[in-house]
Amino acid sequence: MIRRAAKFRSRLLCLAVVLLPAGAVALAQDSPETVYAPPALPRDDEGINQGAVHVDFNVSYFTDYVYRGVEVFEVPGPEDRLNLQLGTKLSFDTGKLPHPFVSVFVNVAENDPVSNFQEIRPTVGFDWTIKPVVISGGYIGYLYPDRTDLETSELFLQIALDQRSLFRGRPVPTPYVMAAYDFDLYDGVYLEGGLKYRLPLEDLGLTFTFIGDVAYVNGYTAGVPSGGGTVPGFFTNAETIDDSITGLQHWEVGVVGEYSLNKMFGVSSRFGDWNLAGYLYYTESIENDIRASDQLWGGAGITFRY
């Protein structure tokens, strides 16, 4: 009896040894092999606003208000009075479809004898990435409190190369071209082409963006205000609506430097991307009979993206 029991235990042990690899194989079949690494936990600098709504806001002080090569309003008194500039953009992520957005720009100049709020510029449009380009377009309104005779509207379209898709994020100069048609007061076309070069220095928390552009205008007659008479065209000092201009208007170079406040204070980008920004530009006219400013100007401020 004892021998039979020992022999039975020996057979059970052999059966277990045989079945154990088979069970391991079954488990391996339940979890197929893969060449992909297992998903990693997100880092503190990842996961910033993956929702459908994005916000871009900036507040800055500039020595001058220069727009498309023209110093728009010059306040009497000492040169280079500070201009407070506010800009905000709300965009909506619709996947592969065009991304609609609304934005508002405001320029405020203290001691302006007409209105401290010199300009309010609302924009409604879209951004659409069709690799390797980004197409933007829409409507821009120009509102001038207490200077309503200057108010006008335009449509714009811009095509820019998307370096992230074409060059895998490598810092290379990327070109763009933009056209705007003033269909309201001045009846003119503004064309601008240029290059942008974004150079990130991630270890230092710094990003530099170098900019260069040149502009061409066609038309822009003097406007006809609602109360009669004429007002100068944006790019010309013509006093009658029969005068118009055509030609190269200005060239401009500049650099924008941004320093990450998130890196400075050790704050995760999940709470938004905060930066100190500095701006320096030089603008110069090309043709004498076309209005443009020869100006060195710049400023500093804070930007927030989420």
Domain contains 13 = no
Bigger pLDDT: 56 or 27? 56
Handedness of CA 270, 272, 276, 281 (dihedral sign): positive
Going by their DSSP bridges, the two strands 152-161 and 117-130 should be labelled as unpaired
Domain contains 82 = yes
Domain contains 271 = yes
Domain contains 78 = yes
User: Residue 244: what pLDDT?
Assistant: 77
Tally of domains within the chain: 1
Task: Enumerate residues 6+ apart whose C-beta is below 8 A from 120.
Answer: 104, 105, 106, 143, 144, 145
Domain contains 176 = yes
Mean pLDDT lowest among 203-212, 246-255, 266-275 = 266-275
Task: Enumerate residues 6+ apart whose C-beta is below 8 A from 186.
Answer: 152, 219, 220, 221, 222, 223, 233, 234
Mean pLDDT lowest among 74-88, 143-157, 255-269, 275-289 = 74-88
Domain contains 96 = yes
- Mean pLDDT, to the nearest integer, of 134-143? 97
Beta-carbon-side half-sphere exposure of residue 132 (alpha carbons within 13 Å): 12
Helix (H) or strand (E) holding 27: helix 2-30
Domain contains 16 = no
Q: Write the pLDDT tens digit of every residue in 67-87.
A: 999 998 876 655 557 899 999
Mean pLDDT lowest among 10-14, 21-25, 134-138, 155-159 = 21-25
Q: Write the pLDDT tens digit of every residue in 14-35.
A: 544 444 444 444 444 454 555 4
What's the pTM? Answer: 0.80
Q: Write the pLDDT tens digit of every residue in 124-134.
A: 999 999 988 99
CA distances from 154 to 45, 123, 137, 167, 183 (A): 39, 10, 11, 33, 6
Bigger pLDDT: 45 or 105? 105
CATH of the domain at 72: 2.40.160.40
Domain contains 44 = no
Whether 102 has a pLDDT exceeding 70, the answer reads: yes
For residues 107 and 95, the answer to whether their CB atoms sit within 8 Å is no
DSSP 3-state assignment of 229? coil
- Mean pLDDT, to the nearest integer, of 150-160? 96
State the residue range of the domain holding 275.
55-305
Check whether the bond before 132 is cis (ω within 30° of 0): yes
